[in-house]
């Protein structure tokens, strides 16, 4: 009979085996549900996007049609004005010719059919193949005859009776000079013009462009490259769930291509523009995304299946590993109980907490309990550091926590000092476990004490050898390690260039070259044969880098108890420098004699009483005395009598002072010639005691004559510089003033500053120096610099034209200073600014002219781009200004311009810039705008303000303003492009009927 425990165990295994596959199937099902839902959402969004694209194209088409129809209406108005102005003299041929008025509103190349009808409806003129008066709707003509309104009438009419071909008719009433009906002008527009040759719409190859009449159902369109016309084409809104309200569906399919349609109404002309894009093209991106979603879902499903299989396999292996671990745990328990080391299994407490307070003895062998002075039974299940609080101070607790938290094992030897116990050395290893740590410990106190004693002795000897200033090495003479280097101190490293790592433990012949002084096998064999101390006073040594040194070495044999040499101890001293000093001393004596004879100065050496014992050749050449004549006090005869009397006092002065005595003296050569000499006397002091005196004599007669000539030249240059109005100065490389003329005195005298010897920063102050420093740096680099300096000292603003000219040294390359020329150009700059300002002002209105406007516009655009600000440009002119000029005369026209300018200034902000470009054209720069709507509000305000009549010299004049408004924030737009954009918008405002404004998007 099967037991209950066996059934439970089997059920548990079955549940463990099925849980992971069931979870994976659920995850795959959820994944596919999410993917299908996302595909459905993407499909709806893509179709809405296609409808919005169709509607945008329909708006573009309707705006194009609206523009052509408005321009056609404007063309009839232009013809009416010219017709009535000339009493019918302006013909249709003149109007429609190239360069005529029609070309200003509609391109002549459109070749629209036009005709002029008299008051009876008879065609008097026609253009571009106008078919005949019967093509003009009778009702349309009658409406024109009855209506006195100056508006154009639009109608839809069939091009050929009974066919689907139709045209748009635009007609306007014409009056005679008496204001009576005199006929009409009619323009016929073929709707094919809008759908056949309009290249701004990209609807792909199978797209549809349709123009429909909402009044009588006529339509014309293009399907791909095929044109059609219909009287029965109708559309209905798409009623599918979730469809856009702007989507249309044809009642009858137009062809075999599936499309997505949308529309844009033109209520003024009873027309509607319909655009259809091919569904295949519009939904192509969705199809690609759907394929990607499905591919990704399939790949993820496959990965889930693979991962599930791997996890099921790993789970089986884990169960097998668990059973093996249990068997290993039993084996480990037996090994721990028989081990020579103490073994502790500690569990962190509290379990799972971020901060560990203690560890619990989960298991411990008898040897581990003995190390802690307890039995195993007393420790199992107890908190380790609560049970043994003395051990918390040892640092073991911190180490256990670190190993447990970091997961990094730790092995070390530590000295254990516990209150009441003798110090012990413990070798222990700490290994992290999942819920605690495992610790193995061994008492190594005896071994550690022996190691420490040996280490201390070795350290003492090693320190002694290492810090000796003498080379020390020990070489083995034993058979098994013959020639091996055992000791090699720091002095040996320094003297030979070989490091201890290269030498110690290696045989000398393998480390050193054959001719190396410390690796001579013949000397070693002699030492083995006759173990005596060997002293070599001068032993040459070639270092590792090839340089040569001289050593004094002593080799001592170290023998065993049988008198056999086991080691050779060598102690050596580097005597290279000592040998060099001895040689240098002998050479210095010879050199000194040669140097004194080659000196350009006359040299004399005397004893304490001034008796000469030596003079060089130069002294003989300067004075004309021979060496024999100079001995004793004979050398003093060269000085003039009043000069030589000073010498005893000079000697006495030198006995009390350290610095040499210096004096310019007059000397008389033996040939009677008087010379000037620079004489210096210095005491010879050895260990603080004066042994005699050294004197030098330098003939400066030629130099003194040159200095006198130089002073005269400097005086002349000083006089010239002081008479110049320009400030002239010289500044050395340290930026210290070394020369300046009187103009500089006047400049700095206002503050009583003494300039000579002062630095630039001391004279001008830190603030002005920061401005001048870059120019000074460029000049000291060898560049001649010219710039303008602005000075506001004393409350008066001045402009100085400054030139810095570098001064090079004798080598022609290094800059040793620079010359400064500063000239006050304040008056010239002020006059230049005044003339420039006059050149930028319109003399009639006092506003900025074109030049001033361009400067301000360029500056405003740069500031706007740098500060990420918004600005606007208005381009406006006065509507019907020319008739005012022609009717009232130019003086009234000028008065109107002034009054218009004044009203503009009153309407705008104080910070706005108004300019008159010429004639009746004005511009306004609006900078620092908070938002674009602020500019449109000002534009509307200007239009409204200009509608009020102007009272000018007894004449009342009514005009209006048309405005084009463009914006700028940042980008590649330049001033000319911004002006052209505003001008284009002004033209649109004119075409829109004047007395209004047009603003950019």
Residue 412 in domain? yes
Asked if residue 976 and residue 884 are part of one domain, the reply reads yes
Residue 61 in domain? no
Q: For residue 611, which phi and psi values (nearest 5 degrees)? A: -80, 125
**Which of 378-392, 398-412, 628-642, 768-782 has the lowest average pLDDT?**
378-392
Asked if residue 990 and residue 847 are part of one domain, the reply reads yes
Mapping DSSP to helix (H, G, I), strand (E, B) and coil, where does residue 737 land?
strand
Q: For residue 419, which phi and psi values (nearest 5 degrees)? A: -55, 130
Q: Please give the pLDDT value at position 836.
A: 61
Can you say how many angstroms the Cα of residue 652 is from the centroid of all Cα atoms in its chain?
73
Asked if residue 750 and residue 606 are part of one domain, the reply reads no
For residues 689-702, give the mean pLDDT.
Answer: 86
Most confidently modeled of 65-69, 267-271, 765-769, 913-917?
Answer: 913-917
193 neighbors 179 (Cβ within 8 angstroms): no
Residue 312 in domain? no
More confident residue, 415 or 847: 847
Asked if residue 792 and residue 852 are part of one domain, the reply reads no
Asked if residue 732 and residue 683 are part of one domain, the reply reads no
For residues 90-111, give the mean pLDDT.
Answer: 79
Q: Respond yes or no: is residue 920 known to be catalytic.
A: yes
Q: Please give the pLDDT value at position 966.
A: 94
169 neighbors 154 (Cβ within 8 angstroms): yes
Q: Which of 779, 808, 830 is the last residue of a domain?
A: 830
Mapping DSSP to helix (H, G, I), strand (E, B) and coil, where does residue 257 land?
coil
Asked if residue 514 and residue 624 are part of one domain, the reply reads no
CATH code (residue 791): 3.30.450.20
> How confident is residue 878, by pLDDT bands cut at 50, 70 and 90?
very high
> How confident is residue 68, by pLDDT bands cut at 50, 70 and 90?
confident
Count of alpha carbons within 13 angstroms of residue 618, beta-carbon side: 18
277 neighbors 259 (Cβ within 8 angstroms): yes
Q: Does pLDDT of 949 surpass 60?
A: yes
358-364, strands of its sheet edge to edge: 358-364, 342-349, 436-443, 424-432, 410-416
What confidence tens digit (pLDDT) does each residue in 446-455 have?
777 777 776 7
For residues 838-849, give the mean pLDDT.
Answer: 81
User: Quick one: which of 512, 489, 484, 511 has its CA closest to 500?
Assistant: 489
Most confidently modeled of 237-241, 539-543, 581-585?
Answer: 539-543
> How confident is residue 728, by pLDDT bands cut at 50, 70 and 90?
confident
Q: Please give the pLDDT value at position 193.
A: 80
Most confidently modeled of 277-281, 292-296, 342-346, 984-988?
Answer: 984-988
3-state helix, strand, coil in the chain (%, to 5): 45, 30, 25
CATH code (residue 874): 3.30.70.270
Residue 872 in domain? yes
Q: Which of 580, 606, 622 is the last residue of a domain?
A: 580
Write down the catalytic residue from 358, 842, 879, 920: 920
Q: Please give the pLDDT value at position 200.
A: 63
Q: Please give the pLDDT value at position 923.
A: 95
Distance CA 651, CA 123 (A): 138
Q: Please give the pLDDT value at position 491.
A: 84
Residue 82 in domain? yes
Q: Please give the pLDDT value at position 752.
A: 43
Q: Does pLDDT of 753 surpass 60?
A: no
For residues 456-479, give the mean pLDDT.
Answer: 78
Residue 736 in domain? yes
Q: For the chain, what percent of residues have pLDDT higher than 90?
A: 10
What confidence tens digit (pLDDT) does each residue in 164-205 have?
788 888 999 888 888 888 889 999 888 888 887 666 677 777
Q: Does pLDDT of 938 surpass 90?
A: yes
Q: Please give the pLDDT value at position 720.
A: 67
Q: For residue 752, which phi and psi values (nearest 5 degrees)? A: 65, 30
Residue 740 in domain? yes
> How confident is residue 741, by pLDDT bands cut at 50, 70 and 90?
confident
116 is written with which tokens?
């002029």
Asked if residue 987 and residue 846 are part of one domain, the reply reads yes
Q: Please give the pLDDT value at position 794.
A: 63
More confident residue, 17 or 127: 127
More confident residue, 15 or 536: 536
Asked if residue 520 and residue 485 are part of one domain, the reply reads yes
The domain in which residue 362 lies consists of 340-448
Q: Please give the pLDDT value at position 981.
A: 93
> How confident is residue 750, by pLDDT bands cut at 50, 70 and 90?
very low
Distance CA 829, CA 835 (A): 10
For residues 860-888, give the mean pLDDT.
Answer: 90
For residues 389-406, give the mean pLDDT.
Answer: 82
Q: For the chain, what percent of residues have pLDDT higher than 70?
A: 91
> How confident is residue 537, by pLDDT bands cut at 50, 70 and 90?
confident
Q: Please give the pLDDT value at position 980.
A: 94
Q: For residue 954, which phi and psi values (nearest 5 degrees)? A: 85, -5
H helix intervals, 627-756:
627-630, 641-644, 647-656, 701-723, 742-748
Asked if residue 822 and residue 847 are part of one domain, the reply reads no
Q: Does pLDDT of 457 surpass 80?
A: no
Q: Please give the pLDDT value at position 339.
A: 62
Count of alpha carbons within 13 angstroms of residue 694, beta-carbon side: 10
807 neighbors 820 (Cβ within 8 angstroms): no
Q: Does pLDDT of 721 surpass 90?
A: no
Mean pLDDT across the chain? 83
User: Quick one: which of 962, 961, 968, 960 has its CA closest to 1000?
Assistant: 968
> How confident is residue 751, by pLDDT bands cut at 50, 70 and 90?
very low
For residues 533-551, give the mean pLDDT.
Answer: 85
Q: Please give the pLDDT value at position 989.
A: 92
Asked if residue 864 and residue 995 are part of one domain, the reply reads yes
Asked if residue 753 and residue 825 are part of one domain, the reply reads yes
Q: How many domains does the chain have?
A: 6
Residue 205 in domain? no
Please tell me what DSSP assigns to residue 544: T
Distance CA 197, CA 225 (A): 11
Q: Which of 193, 210, 239 is the last residue of a domain?
A: 193
For residues 940-949, give the mean pLDDT.
Answer: 93
Asked if residue 687 and residue 730 are part of one domain, the reply reads no
For residues 752-768, give the mean pLDDT.
Answer: 78
């Amino acid at each position: 009979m099967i037991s209950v425990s066996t059934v439970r165990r089997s059920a548990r295994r079955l549940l463990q085996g099925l849980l992971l596959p069931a979870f994976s199937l659920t995850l795959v099902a959820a994944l596919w549900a999410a993917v299908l839902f996302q595909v459905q959402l993407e499909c709806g969004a893509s179709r809405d996007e296609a409808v919005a694209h169709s509607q945008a194209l329909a708006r573009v088409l309707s705006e194009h049609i609206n523009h052509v129809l408005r321009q056609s209406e404007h063309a009839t108005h232009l013809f009416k004005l010219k017709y009535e102005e000339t009493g019918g003299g302006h013909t249709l041929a003149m109007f429609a010719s190239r360069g005529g008025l029609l070309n200003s509103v509609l391109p002549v190349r459109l070749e629209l059919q036009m005709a002029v009808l008299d008051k009876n409806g008879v065609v008097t003129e026609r253009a571009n193949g106008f078919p005949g008066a019967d093509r003009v709707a009778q009702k349309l003509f009658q409406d024109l005859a009855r209506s006195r309104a100056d508006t154009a009438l639009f109608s839809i009419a069939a091009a050929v009776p009974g066919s689907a071909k139709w045209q748009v008719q635009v007609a306007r009433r014409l009056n005679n000079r008496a204001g009576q009906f005199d006929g009409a002008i009619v323009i016929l527009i073929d709707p094919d013009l809008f759908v056949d040759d309009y290249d701004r719409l990209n609807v792909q190859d199978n797209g549809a462009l349709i123009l429909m009449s909402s009044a009588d159902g006529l339509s014309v369109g293009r399907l791909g490259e095929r044109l059609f016309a219909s009287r029965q084409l109708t559309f209905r809104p798409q009623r599918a769930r979730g469809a856009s309200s702007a989507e249309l569906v044809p009642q009858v399919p137009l062809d075999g291509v599936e499309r997505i349609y949308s529309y844009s109404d033109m209520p003024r002309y009873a027309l509607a523009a319909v655009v259809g894009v091919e569904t295949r093209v519009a939904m192509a991106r969705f199809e690609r995304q759907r394929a990607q979603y499905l591919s990704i879902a399939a790949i993820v499903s496959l990965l889930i299946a693979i991962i599930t299989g791997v996890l099921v396999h790993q789970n089986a292996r884990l169960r097998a590993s668990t059973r093996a671990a249990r068997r290993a745990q039993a084996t480990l328990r037996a090994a721990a109980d028989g081990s020579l080391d103490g073994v502790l299994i500690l569990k962190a407490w509290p379990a799972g907490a971020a901060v560990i307070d203690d560890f619990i003895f989960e298991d411990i062998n008898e040897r581990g309990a003995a190390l802690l002075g307890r039995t195993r039974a007393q420790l199992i299940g107890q908190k380790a550091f609560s049970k043994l609080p003395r051990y918390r101070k040892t640092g073991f607790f911190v180490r256990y926590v670190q190993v447990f938290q970091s997961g990094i094992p730790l092995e070390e030897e530590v000295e254990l000092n516990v209150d009441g116990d003798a110090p012990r050395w413990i070798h222990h290893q700490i290994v992290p476990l999942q819920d605690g740590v495992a610790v193995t410990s061994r008492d190594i106190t005896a071994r550690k004490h022996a190691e420490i004693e040996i280490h201390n002795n070795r350290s003492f000897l090693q320190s002694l050898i290492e810090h000796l200033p003498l080379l020390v090495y020990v070489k083995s003479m034993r058979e098994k390690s013959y020639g091996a280097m055992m000791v090699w101190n720091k002095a040996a490293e320094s003297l030979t260039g070989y490091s201890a790592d290269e030498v110690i433990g290696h045989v000398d012949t393998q480390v050193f070259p054959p001719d190396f002084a410390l690796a001579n096998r013949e000397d070693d064999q002699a030492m083995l044969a006759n173990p005596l101390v060997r002293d070599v006073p001068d032993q040459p040594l070639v270092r590792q880098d090839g340089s040569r040194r001289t050593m004094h070495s002593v080799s001592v044999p170290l023998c065993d108890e049988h008198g056999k040499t086991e080691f050779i101890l060598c102690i050596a001293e580097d005597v290279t420098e000592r040998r060099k000093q001895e040689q240098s001393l002998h050479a210095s004596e010879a050199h000194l004699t040669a140097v004194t004879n080659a000196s350009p100065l006359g040299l004399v050496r005397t004893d304490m009483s001034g008796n000469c014992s030596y003079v060089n050749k130069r002294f003989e050449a300067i004075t004309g005395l021979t060496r024999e004549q100079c001995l004793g006090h004979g050398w003093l005869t060269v000085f003039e009598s009043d000069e030589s009397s000073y010498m005893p006092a000079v000697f006495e002065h030198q006995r009390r002072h350290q610095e040499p005595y210096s004096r310019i003296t007059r000397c008389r050569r033996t040939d009677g010639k008087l010379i000037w000499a620079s004489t210096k006397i210095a005491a010879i002091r050895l260990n603080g005691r004066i042994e005699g005196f050294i004197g030098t004599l330098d003939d400066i007669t030629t130099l003194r004559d040159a200095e006198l000539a130089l002073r005269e030249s400097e005086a002349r240059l000083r006089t010239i510089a002081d008479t110049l109005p320009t400030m002239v100065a010289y500044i050395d490389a340290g930026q210290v003033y070394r020369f300046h003329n009187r103009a500089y005195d006047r400049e700095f005298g206002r503050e009583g500053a003494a300039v000579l010897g002062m630095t630039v920063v001391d004279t001008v102050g830190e603030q002005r120096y920061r401005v001048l420093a870059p120019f000074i740096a460029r000049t000291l680099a060898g560049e001649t610099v010219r710039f303008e300096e602005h000075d506001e000292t004393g409350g008066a603003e001045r402009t100085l034209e400054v030139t810095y000219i570098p001064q090079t040294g004798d080598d022609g390359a290094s800059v040793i200073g620079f010359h400064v020329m500063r000239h006050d150009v304040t008056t010239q700059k002020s006059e230049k600014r005044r003339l420039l300002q006059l050149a930028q002002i319109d003399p009639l209105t006092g506003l900025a002219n074109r030049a001033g406007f361009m400067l301000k516009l360029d500056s405003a655009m740069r500031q706007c781009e740098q500060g990420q600000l918004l600005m606007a440009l208005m381009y406006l002119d006065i509507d019907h200004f020319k008739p005012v000029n022609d009717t009232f005369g130019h003086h009234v026209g000028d008065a109107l311009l002034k009054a218009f300018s004044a009203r503009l200034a009153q309407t705008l902000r104080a910070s706005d810039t108004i300019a008159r470009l010429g004639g009746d054209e004005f511009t306004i720069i609006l900078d620092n705008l908070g938002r674009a709507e602020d500019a449109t509000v000002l534009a509307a305000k200007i239009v409204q303000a200009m509608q009020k009549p102007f009272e000018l010299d007894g004449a009342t004049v009514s005009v209006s303003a048309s405005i084009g408004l463009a914006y700028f924030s940042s980008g590649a737009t330049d001033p000319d492009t911004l002006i052209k954009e505003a001008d284009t918008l002004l033209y649109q405002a004119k075409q829109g009927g004047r007395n209004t404004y047009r603003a950019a998007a």
